[in-house]
Each structure stands twice: as C-alpha cells, then as structure tokens.
Amino acid sequence: MAQTSDLVRLDTFAKLLCEHARLRPDRAAMRHKDFGIWRTWTWREVAENVRAYAAGLQALGLTRGAKIAIIGANRPALYWSILAAQWLGAVPVPVYADAVADEMAYVLNHAEVTFAAVQDQEQVDKVLSVAEQVPLLSVVLYDEPRGLRDYDHTRLHRIESVIDNGRKLLAADAALAAAIDGERDRGGADDVSIILYTSGTTGRSKGVILSAGGSIAAARDTVGFDKLGERDEVLAYLPLAWVGDHYLNYAQALVAGFCVACPESIETAENDLQEIGPSFYFAPPRVFEALLTRVTIRMEDAGALKRRMFQYFIGVSRRWGEKILNGESVPLGGRLNYWLGNLLVYAPLKNVLGFSRIRVAYTAGEAIGPDLFSFYRSLGLNLKQLYGQTEAFLYVTAQPDGQIRADTVGPAVPNVDIRISESGEVLYRSPGQFIGYYKDTERTAEVMTEDGFIKTGDAGFFDEDGQLKIIDRAKDVGRLGSGALFAPKYIENKLKFYPNIKEAVAFGQGRDFVTCMLNIDLTAVGNWAERNNIPYASYQELAQHPRVYRMLGEHVAEANRGLASEPLMANAQIRRFLILHKELDADDGEMTRTQKVRRGFIAERYKPLIDALYDGSDAADIATEVTFEDGRKGVLAARVRIADAATQPVAAERVAA
Amino acid sequence: MRAPGDKSGLKAGDTLLAVENVSLTFGGVKAISEVSFDIRKGEIRAIIGPNGAGKTSMLNVVNGFYHPQHGRITYKGQTRARMKPYQAASQGIARTFQNVALFRGMSTLDNIMVGRTLKMHRGLFWQMLRFGPAMAEEIEHRRVVEDIIDFLQIEAIRKVPVGKLPYGLQKRVELGRALAMEPELLLLDEPMAGMNLEEKEDMCRYILDLNNQFGTTIALIEHDMGVVMDLSDRVVVLEYGHKIADGTPDVVKADAKVIDAYLGIERGVSGPSQESEAT
C-alpha cells in the first residue's frame, strides 16, 4: 500500500488532486447535469483541467496570496476555480450567491479580492454593479456565456477560454509547465487554504481563515470515522460559500477520492438526487421536514388502498425500524413485517426521495424534531447528527453508527477536545480549527481561550452517555423577570416541530412571561385550507385567519404541556402569541443566510408588536420595510391579531404541594 | 440554440412578410377590412387594438388558418393564394395561442418535442426501433429541445405533465414548442396575458434575447401597453378591422386616432365601426 500512503502525507488540495489522478485516473471525479445529460469528468481530466486553468490564471496575473472570489451555484468550473487558485497559492473566497449587492460589496472589499470567478450573467451583473466599491477587483471570470456576448470583455473572461489558453501555454512551453508544477509543490500545510465568510448571526460577516494542513487533517478524521472511500458519491447542492459544502463535498471528496455530482440547477436538485442516488448525504433539518411534509400531502391525495398500506407500514417501521437499524434484537414477526414493508413502502419511498443508496446521512444546524428524526431512521436511513461550526472547519461532534439520539449531537469526533466552561459554554480544540478571522485580531482574541480552545458561543452539557447536548446560544439563555430559566431556542424548536409552523421567535428576557411570534408554513397550512374550504387571497390573509389562529393556538398549548413536564422549563410557558403577516427573510436581515433567526434584530423591527404582546391588547398595527432581491425596497403594512395561549399549572407548585 | 433561418437569404430590414389590402369576412361580419402592413426581417412587430379589433384574426390569416376573401400575402417574396397552416409551419412560421393550447397530459419535454415533428423524416418502421437512423435523429432533436429548455430555464419541469403547471409556465412551454420549429417568423398571441409582473419580465427577457441573439422575427399581439412600447420596433394599430395607425411606438403613442380608440374621448362610436355596420 505504498501508493495510498502518499495520500496520507499530502498537505494541500492541489497535491491531493494530482495524487488521485495518478491512483485512480479513470474513476469519476465530478459530474454535472447540463442540457439534460450527466456529464462526467475523471480524476485525470479534472487534474488536467485544473492544471491548465492554473496556467491560464497565472497568465492573467493571479499570484500567490492574491484573493479570488468564487460566486455561484455548485458547478465543476467553480470547484476548479477553487482548486486552480489553491494550486497557485492564491486564496479562494467563496461568497453566497444570493447575497444582495451591498453584502457582496462588503465581503469583496474586506477580503481584498482582485479576481472573481462567477457562474453567469446574473452574478457578473452583480459584481460589476459594485465594482466601483471594490477598486482592487481587476478580473472577472464567468462560466456560462449566455447573455454576456455584448459585454465589454477587457476585464471579463470565460473560464473555458482561460483553461484553453492555459492548455496552449503549457503545450508550447515546457519550462512553464515545470514552473506551474513547481507552484503546486511550493504549497504547504501552513498555507491559507481558503477564507470562508460566516453568515454572521450577529453583525457583519467575518472571514474565517483555514489552513491547508488543518483542513485536510480534519477531513481525514471524518473520512475515517464514516469509512468514506472512492466508491462513494455525493450531490453537491449546498451553498458553495458555506463551510458544509466546502467540507463535505470538497475537502472530503479530495481526501477520500469520491465523486461529486453537481445538480442542473437548484430547482432540479431533488430530481438530480434521485438520478444520482448519493451514498453520503447531508441536509439541514428543514429539508427533511419539507420532504416529509410533501410525502404526507401526497399520501393524503393518494387512493384509499395506498393510503392504508402506507399508514400501516409506517406504523410497523416506527415500531421496529430503528431497532433493526441499531442492531437490537427484534422478534421474527417484526422482522418479517418490516421486510414486507420495505418491499412495499420503504424501498419505493426511499427511491423516490433519492435515498436508496445512502450509507451515511447527516443533519445539523438546527435541532431536529424527534418524530421527524425517527421517521427517516425507521425507514432504514442511517441519519445521524453532527455539531460543528465554520471556525472548527465543521465537525466538533458527530454520532457514531448505532449510538443515535434525536436530542444529542454525539461525542467529540477523533482528535477533537471538548470542555464545558464554568458558564456552561462549549469550548473545543480541533485539528481543523481556524487560524483567525481575516483582518480582525480583536474578535479572534475574543473567541480563543489562552490555552487554544475556541468558544462556540453555545450552551450545552454532556449527558450520561457522553454525548453532547446543545441547549441554545450561550448569550441567548436568559431569565424571566421572576428569575426562571428562559431558553428561547428550546421553546422555538418545540414549536417548529409542528408542520404548520415554519418559524417561531420567543421573547421573555427580563419580562414577566414568555410570548412568541409565529410564521405559518404556507405549504402545510395552504393545503389544510384547501382541504377545509377556507378561501384566502394572500399569505397575509391566511396568516391572520381566525381558524389558523385557533389551530396554531392548539399547537402552542401542546408545546406548553411539554414545557410544563420539564422542571427547568415549566415557568417559561407561552402566555401570548401572534402570527406574523410576512415570512421572516434573510433579505430583510431577519434571518441569517443559513436561515437562523436574528432575535435581537426582530425584537427591534417589530417593537410595536412586542409591546402589544405584553400590554394585553388584542391587535397591533405594523409597517415593515421589505427588500427585494435586486435591492429595491417596499413597505408592507398589516394589522396583526394577538391571541392568548392555554398554559399548564406550573409543575414546581405541584411538586411543592 | 441555433440561429434559425438565413434560409430565405433575406437580410435584416428586408420585408419578410407583406400583407396587402386583406379583407376577411365571416358571413356578414367583417373581421378585417382592407388592411395592409409589413413585417421586416429581424424586427419585433406589435399588433395592438381594442377587443374585437381583428388582431387574432390577422395572425390566423398570416399563418394560413383563415383565408382572406380579398388581398394578397407575400411571404419571403412568394405571393400566396391559399395556404394550409402546416404549409405555413414548414415555411418557418410558428405561433403560440391566446389560450394555451398544449397537450395537457404530456410532459414539457414531449410538448416541445412535438414542435420538431415537421423536422423528423424517418418512417414508422425505423421509429419503432430503439436503434438506427431514427434513434440518431431523435437524439439530434432532443439536443435542440434541451437547448430550448436551457434557454427558457425550465429544467425543473422537464418531466412534469403540463396540465399540472401554473399558467405562466405553461405559456413558457408553449413558447418553447414554437421555438422548437426554429421559426423564421414567430407569432405570439398575447404572450403575457394573465401573468404576474415577474413572469412578464421573464417573458420580455426571452423575447428580447430571441430577437437579439438569434435574429428571430417576432410579431406579437399584446394588451400591456408598457410591454408593447418597450419591446417593439414598430406597432400596427387595428380597430374594428381597420388599420388606424402604423409606425414606431413614439409615433403611434402620439396618434390622435389611437388615443381615441383606447381612451374613447369625445367621439363616442367611431367612424370605422359605423362603416362596418353598414356593410
């Protein structure tokens, strides 16, 4: 195995790429669906393309240490841009493709990018529109030429022609070829591999600097942990600028040598998932939730026989599925019934969802509802949870096969040390941890302890099995006026487990009682309205419908019953709630790009509503500014009703009695 | 996508289609009387007018669905007497309809593939086999259709039966089917009717791209004046079967008769309609 030992030593992604091209030249490295057909590149082809691309970029003036922005959806050309930049020792800076122009300008400027590799006309327009605010930017590369024919091409280049040009240069000049390979070999473990801008739950985004050696070391640990190899395949549909995509689909692929498939477009991802049938899969809980909602709705529309069969076998799987997956002992009758269910329901269902070949699936980012979690696990999908953050280069903890629970995130992954600070905050030290925030030593110092641990900002504790349990953001765990514990996210998650509730925001810090704002889920509630003959003209009207209030009121009451049963949380029951007239949206700054609510901002923006929640009035007027994707603004005004929720007698009193 | 049609050898700006003194009657009803106008290669030509002005009838005359009692139509230099719609189609005239006319049970892909029918040459025997020349031909056609799907950005609905699609998307599929013919002259009958603002903006984008990048000549009927004035190079205005104005958007906008026809100032019932009642 002298050959594979090389892979273990290599310390940059460009070197790994070339090693894979040597070890498995004809295995598929990348796929992309274009014009309805999956196109495949082998490792040899990818390495050859990236090498030529690097030569082309060098000819355009990209140098070691320069920053190149990567903007767009998951496409081979953009992944190659990252690789080619790293080959030359330049630093890729992926930027969220759906960022509004202003946000984009900030990141481009802060990172001091001189090059940008973007997907298409939309992104070219966006970059050019902020070009004046980004004086250093000199070259823009694009992948899809459509609509760009008449643009001024003095600073604009098509990626394909840059690669072609590089190929010509390499062929013509052997000395150059040697120099390009020399650039690759000059790279080392201490190089800055990439700067990932965090979505920024609070304030402006920060550039997280990751080293090549650290990134690869972290990826090696998890590749070993989940036994990933060259036969695995993933569908890369997560935002390119998010640490998850860079880790799961880039770093792990280059370490393990598996194939990365890029969907045709974001809208077709679900279809492409079915066609590719990945063996490793990651999705945030909301994706699993949306899938289940859709399956449920479709089953409600199905014929009586199918519906009965579905319900019966889902019952069987709930009873036996997880036990079988965990390798526990199950009576023969249960096994037989489950086998039959697999034949008739689970396998076809998984096939439709594109889950047939999945060996390992992860979810993270938010708490996942126990019902939701066990639904997928009971179908035989090896769904696990991990906990991580950009600063750690993703993984901090992950659940090993067979030790899975919905309410924990697992023990530390190999080579990661975790400790809980006195205030209850989770601290860790990991091989992939970041070097620092780009141009921000102050905030870097804030999150680092003296002995090199990093503060996650999350409050949590280890349960009796040694698995980490996250309660909430450390700074969000607060107290009510009475001194009782108030963990807003814990409450919100309880509410969000109802399919009808898309988002919830709880308030109560320093107040007498807890209140919350809800967002309805338009798919679920809309379907419910259709079935119950409730006409509505707009989201706003549906959200304010009295029967919707009644239905969500029942959900809140049920959540209160759950809270009442937990001694720590019993005092934090929801007394009053309202349903917002609009969806919380990242474009309006109400959520982060990764769909986390920004509670402080919301509290400020909807102050009249919060005042009304606490002063006892039964309705309030609100006018909010909304931002469209092109940056234009409009005003949305509404009258929002406020309702009281049923609460349970506080358990503490009963205990005392 | 391939740029259709230098088949005619016409240059941009040459007259592609000329309608001369065309009259069309249904029994006693005069739908079109003595209308003349032309469409030049490479332009976007709008036909506007109030309801019942004869716009759709005019398109039907152009693509051979109706046969005018009087007048001449010259297309690519050939003056025709009578022509069937399929003949018009084979000469490079494609159209979409005011009310979407797709095969509702068929997928987007199949619906657009239908637009390639005239370009398929292999007989039934070869068509039945999964190999051979018909298969090669099918692959070639599929490639063209995929270009169109990419152009119209409808990848996500490729295999969805069109009956299940929202109206705006159905309109887009219908445009796709017309494009599959690689038309030289594309007739669009109210392409934006019933669409919301975003869908309209998308549709305008596609029409402009078609015209700019592929040089397709487009004649469109549309009620949204903003769209018409922004998109078209020249506008012809019909009212009660008569042409009342013809020219660039600016000229037409300033025309007193057009203002009257649309806003109905002072005159009440206008002259031409009295005429048509008299006949």
Same domain, A222 and A325: no
The stretch A110-137 carries a mean pLDDT of 94
Q: What is the pLDDT of residue B2?
A: 52
Q: Give residue-wise pLDDT tens across range A40-68.
A: 999 999 999 999 999 999 999 999 999 99
- Kindly state whether residue B257 falls inside one of the protein's structural domains: yes
Distance from the Cα of B156 to chain A's closest Cα (Å) equals 5
Which stretch of DSSP H or E encloses residue A128? helix A121-129
Q: What is the pLDDT of residue A201?
A: 54
Inter-chain residue contact B146 with A35, CB threshold 8 Å: yes
Same domain, A173 and A295: no
- Kindly state whether residue A418 falls inside one of the protein's structural domains: no
Single residue among A278, A296, A326 that ends a domain in this structure: A278
- Kindly state whether residue B163 falls inside one of the protein's structural domains: no
Same domain, A163 and A205: yes
Nearest Cα neighbor of A610 from A475, A511, A491 is A511
Gap between the Cα atoms of A472 and A458, Å rounded: 6
Same domain, A256 and A296: no
Inter-chain residue contact B155 with A37, CB threshold 8 Å: no
pTM of the model: 0.80
* Set of chain A residues whose Cβ sits within 8 Å of the Cβ of B151: 146
Single residue among A346, A381, A416 that ends a domain in this structure: A381
Please state, for a pLDDT cut of 70, what percent of chain A lies above it: 96
The stretch A110-119 carries a mean pLDDT of 96
The stretch A122-147 carries a mean pLDDT of 93
Say whether pLDDT at A506 is over 70: yes
Identify which has the larger pLDDT, B220 or A367: B220
Inter-chain residue contact B146 with A149, CB threshold 8 Å: no
Same domain, A192 and A291: no
- Domain limits for position B39: 1-87+216-279
Dihedral sign for Cα atoms in the order B120, B126, B127, B133: negative
The stretch B227-249 carries a mean pLDDT of 91
Q: Chain A residue with minimal CA distance to B159?
A: A271
Same domain, A237 and A299: no
Inter-chain residue contact A267 with B156, CB threshold 8 Å: yes
* Set of chain A residues whose Cβ sits within 8 Å of the Cβ of B150: 34-35
- Kindly state whether residue A326 falls inside one of the protein's structural domains: yes
- Domain limits for position A503: 478-656
Kindly state whether B204 is in contact with chain A, defined as any CB-CB distance less than 8 angstroms: no
Q: What is the pLDDT of residue A266?
A: 87
Per-residue confidence band for B194, with pLDDT thresholds at 50, 70 and 90: confident
* Set of chain B residues whose Cβ sits within 8 Å of the Cβ of A265: 153, 155-156
Same domain, A228 and A246: yes
Same domain, A248 and A295: no
Structural domains counted in chain B: 1
- Kindly state whether residue B137 falls inside one of the protein's structural domains: no
Inter-chain residue contact A35 with B150, CB threshold 8 Å: yes
The CATH number assigned to the domain holding A552 equals 3.30.300.30
Same domain, A171 and A222: yes
Contact A97, A146 (CB under 8 A): no
- Kindly state whether residue A396 falls inside one of the protein's structural domains: no
Dihedral sign for Cα atoms in the order A558, A559, A562, A568: negative
Say whether pLDDT at B126 is over 70: yes
The CATH number assigned to the domain holding B21 equals 3.40.50.300
- Kindly state whether residue A405 falls inside one of the protein's structural domains: no
- Kindly state whether residue A11 falls inside one of the protein's structural domains: yes
What is the DSSP code string of A58-95? HHHT--TT-EEEEESSS-HHHHHHHHHHHHTT-EEEEE
- Interface pTM, i.e. ipTM: 0.75
Same domain, A306 and A268: no
Inter-chain residue contact B155 with A36, CB threshold 8 Å: yes
Kindly state whether B143 is in contact with chain A, defined as any CB-CB distance less than 8 angstroms: yes
Distance from the Cα of A122 to chain B's closest Cα (Å) equals 13
- Kindly state whether residue A161 falls inside one of the protein's structural domains: yes
Q: Give residue-wise pLDDT tens across range A72-112.
A: 999 999 999 999 999 999 999 999 998 888 889 999 999 99
* Set of chain A residues whose Cβ sits within 8 Å of the Cβ of B213: 149
Gap between the Cα atoms of B169 and A267, Å rounded: 14
- Kindly state whether residue B228 falls inside one of the protein's structural domains: yes
Which of B147, B153, B213 has its CB closest to that of A35?
B147
- Kindly state whether residue B8 falls inside one of the protein's structural domains: yes
Same domain, A344 and A488: no
Say whether pLDDT at A263 is over 60: yes
Q: Chain A residue with minimal CA distance to B1?
A: A146
Distance from the Cα of B237 to chain A's closest Cα (Å) equals 32
Q: Which of helix, strand or coil describes residue A250?
A: helix
Per-residue confidence band for B274, with pLDDT thresholds at 50, 70 and 90: very low
The stretch B216-234 carries a mean pLDDT of 90
Per-residue confidence band for B237, with pLDDT thresholds at 50, 70 and 90: very high
Which stretch of DSSP H or E encloses residue A402? none
Residues of chain B numbered 154-183 and touching chain A (CB < 8 Å): 155-156, 158-159
Which of A146, A149, A268 has its CB closest to that of B156?
A268
Inter-chain residue contact B146 with A267, CB threshold 8 Å: no
Which of B147, B155, B213 has its CB closest to that of A264?
B155
Gap between the Cα atoms of A10 and A289, Å rounded: 40
The stretch A444-470 carries a mean pLDDT of 88
Inter-chain residue contact A35 with B143, CB threshold 8 Å: yes
Dihedral sign for Cα atoms in the order B110, B116, B118, B120: negative
Q: What is the pLDDT of residue A489?
A: 84
Nearest Cα neighbor of A46 from A301, A250, A331, A199 is A250
The full length of chain A comes to 657
> In the structure encoding, which two tokens stand for residue B137, read together?
């031909």
- Kindly state whether residue B204 falls inside one of the protein's structural domains: no
Mean pLDDT of chain A: 90
Single residue among A318, A352, A381 that ends a domain in this structure: A381
Same domain, A204 and A64: yes
- Kindly state whether residue A14 falls inside one of the protein's structural domains: yes
- Kindly state whether residue B35 falls inside one of the protein's structural domains: yes
Please state which of the ranges A190-204, B105-119, B215-229 shows the lowest mean pLDDT. Answer: A190-204
Per-residue confidence band for A203, with pLDDT thresholds at 50, 70 and 90: low
**Beta bridge pairs of residue B235:** B46, B247
Burial class of residue B118, CB neighbours in 10 A (0-12, 13-18, 19+): middle
Gap between the Cα atoms of B21 and B23, Å rounded: 6
Gap between the Cα atoms of B152 and B146, Å rounded: 10
- Kindly state whether residue A494 falls inside one of the protein's structural domains: yes
Which of B142, B150, B155 has its CB closest to that of A267?
B155
- Kindly state whether residue B53 falls inside one of the protein's structural domains: yes
Structural domains counted in chain A: 3
Per-residue confidence band for A286, with pLDDT thresholds at 50, 70 and 90: confident
The stretch B108-121 carries a mean pLDDT of 89
Which of B151, B153, B158 has its CB closest to that of A36?
B158
Distance from the Cα of B158 to chain A's closest Cα (Å) equals 9
